[in-house]
Every structure is written in C-alpha cells, then in structure tokens.
Amino acid sequence: MKRPRALFAALGLCLLAGGSADAARPVVADLSNHLVAITTGFSGTHVLVFGATDERKGDIVMVVRGPQETHVVREKTRLAGVWMNRTEAYFSQVPAFYAVAATAPLDSIVPPEVRKHHQIGVAALELSATNSDGRALPADEAKRFREALIRLKSRAGLYPGGLGNVTTLENRLFRAELDLPATVPVGSYTVEVFFVQDGGVIGAEITPLFVSKTGFSAEVFDFAMYHAVQYALAAIAFAALSGWGIALVFRR
C-alpha cells in the first residue's frame, strides 16, 4: 500500500508545481529534433534528449517507445524432417522500438514495482502472448515466445540491449544521446523522462518524437500505396526503357 500513496504524492507534487508556475516543474526535457526524416540516404541518426531538474537530488531515467504494433512470433519445429513454422504467438500493442537510458543502473534507483508500473526496462514490458483468436497462451509457452520476441527485437537493433547513458551536469542539467538505427520503424514515438528520488518518481515529462519518411522516399511510398495502378505502369515503363536503352548502348 506504500507505493500508490507515494505515487499519489508524486502526482500531487507535480500538479502543485505545475499549478504555481511552469518553471517550478520538477523536470523539463526536450529533444534536439522532434521529427526524424527518413530520406533516401537515411542510415540511422542520433537525437539528443536534454533537460533540467529542480534542485533536489535524484536520478534521471529515459524511456523511448516506438509506435505500438501487433507482432507475430512464429516458431519453427521439425515436421517430417523439414523445419517449418508450426506454432505462433500474437503480441498486441508492443512498441516497435524500445530503449532505456539512466544515470545509474536501474535496479539501484528504481524498485521493481515502479519499473513494472511505468514499464521501465525491457524486462518490465507488458508483453502478453495470445493465439490468433486473442486467447492467452499457457505460461511456459508465453514465456518462451516472449523471450524470443525480445531476443529478435534486440538483434534487429530495435530493443537496444543494455542501458543507455544519461549524463548530468551540476545536478541540474542532463543529456542523453538516443541512437536510432537505419531500420527504425516509422510512426509516432514517445520519449518519457522520469525524475526519480529514493525509489519514487517525483516528476515526469513526455515528449513526442515523429519518425517519418520524407522527400523522395515518402513520395514513392505514397504513390505505390495510393496510386497502385499508375505506380505499376511507371515501374514497368521504367524497367522496359532501361532495358531497351542499355541494349542500344551495348550494340556498338
């Protein structure tokens, strides 16, 4: 019963602080860039997360979540000598990207129940496995698929393993570098910054971040999706003319 009270206290504090003056918020944070543009030459990027806290001593935890998507994890098993997908698990509302950074190791600053409540850290992510009808899987199977999902996501660089670094200055200013890989999924992200003291969250700030295709690659995508007939004809004409052109060049 201790935790909810602490949370309410924290919430009240935030409200009080917010009510009196904006400058008195326990933590403020912003990003160097709110829009990550995926252009034709995109090969990953960095976003700087920075901010300040009030004069109290505490730690900073940053959680970045990508767009929530339904993920299907399939497992291959051997059937008549051939490995094929036989079992599958659906995970709905799973962040397509997820990264955490903090000023100190998580277990030394945030107790497990707070981690679970705010879903801080991959281990605290709420990932419930269901079958295609939405019914929950048996516990041991759910665990296996859950581990596989996290492993695959982290191997793809979308759940960067380990804890990112948040550096502080004079106990008031903090900054963290967020690395987005070339495979970063498009969509709307949230960057949550928690100000933690004595194992309780005493302030939080949520900032949106958008990752979207822009320029040529966005135009190609929209053209392919919404004007499929014209896109198909353009693709065919492009290939045909190139083939013909090259044949003419090589004739000499």
**What's the closest the beta carbon of residue 47 comes to other proteins, in angstroms?**
17
Name residue 36's amino acid. Answer: V
Q: Is 35 in the site for other proteins (CB under 8 A)?
A: no
Q: Is 130 helix (H, G, I), strand (E, B) or coil?
A: strand
Neighbours of 156 (CB within 10 A): 13
Q: Is 211 in the site for other proteins (CB under 8 A)?
A: no
Q: Is 247 in the site for other proteins (CB under 8 A)?
A: yes
* Interface of this chain with other proteins, residues 39 to 58, rule: CB under 8 A: 39-44
Q: Is 186 in the site for other proteins (CB under 8 A)?
A: yes
Interface mask toward other proteins for 89-128; x: CB under 8 A: -x-----x--------------------------------
Interface mask toward other proteins for 143-182; x: CB under 8 A: --x--xx-xxx----------------------------x
**What's the closest the beta carbon of residue 19 comes to other proteins, in angstroms?**
41
Produce one character per residue of 176-204: b if its CB has 16 or more CB atoms within 10 Å, e if not.
bebebeeebebbebebbbbbbbeebbbbb
**What's the closest the beta carbon of residue 142 comes to other proteins, in angstroms?**
13
Q: Which of 13, 52, 122, 218 binds other proteins (CB under 8 A)?
A: 218
Q: With 0-12 CB in 10 A as exposed, 13-18 as middle and 19+ as buried, what is 45?
A: middle
Produce one character per residue of 60-86: b if its CB has 16 or more CB atoms within 10 Å, e if not.
bbbbbbbbeeebebeeeeeeeeeeeee
The DSSP secondary structure of 204-216, one letter per residue, reads: EEEEEEEEEE-HH
Q: Is 68 in the site for other proteins (CB under 8 A)?
A: no
In whole angstroms, give the CA distance from residue 27 to residue 192.
Answer: 11
Q: Is 246 in the site for other proteins (CB under 8 A)?
A: yes
Cα–Cα distances in angstroms (integers) from residue 240 to residues 31, 136, 156, 237, 250, in the given order = 46, 51, 36, 5, 16
Taking the least distance from each CB to other proteins, the nearer of 25 and 153 is 153
Q: With 0-12 CB in 10 A as exposed, 13-18 as middle and 19+ as buried, what is 208?
A: exposed
Q: Which of 12, 161, 208, 243 binds other proteins (CB under 8 A)?
A: 243
Q: Which of 54, 69, 113, 141 binds other proteins (CB under 8 A)?
A: 69
Which residues bind to other proteins, rule: CB under 8 A? 38-44, 69-78, 81-85, 88, 90, 96, 145, 148-149, 151-153, 182-183, 185-186, 213, 216-218, 220-221, 224-225, 228-229, 231-236, 238-240, 242-244, 246-247, 250-251
